[in-house]
Amino acid sequence: MALEYKNGRLTERGKTLANVKKDRLNSGTGSSAICNVKDDRVRIKTGSSAVCNVKYGVIREKTGSKRLKTVKDVRKEIKNSESLSDVFVAAVWWFLMR
């Protein structure tokens, strides 16, 4: 999977998979929320239940401490991801790459 982050959009071979607006990762070019980000947690749609969290550059399961993947490894798979925060990188990995 060759994702690229450009102008607030995540694309794969020219097709927009998601866009980033404020604290949400939205589907395609629209405004339908895939997830929202608050503090260091990624939450489903606009809800409050966490699917993963980020501490010290490591993506962890739900609100716990079980390590899933490092942010550094995920950034290598997303072109131009330096401008995305660690939590948004975790959200992209959880919902689009996993």
Of residues 40 and 1, more confidence is placed in 40
Task: Write down the pLDDT at residue 1.
Answer: 64
pLDDT tens-digit profile of 7-59? 999 999 999 999 999 999 999 999 999 999 999 999 999 999 999 999 999 99
State the pLDDT confidence band at 2, using cuts at 50, 70 and 90. Answer: confident
Check pLDDT > 90 for residue 75.
yes
10 in Cβ contact with 89 (< 8 Å): no
Task: Write down the pLDDT at residue 94.
Answer: 97
- Residue 73: C-alpha distances to residues 26, 28, 41, 54, 93 (Å): 23, 24, 19, 13, 10
Q: Read off the amino acid at residue 21.
A: K
Check pLDDT > 90 for residue 97.
yes
Walk across the sheet containing 78-79 and list its strands.
67-70, 58-61, 50-55, 41-44, 33-38, 24-27, 15-21, 9-12, 3-6, 78-79
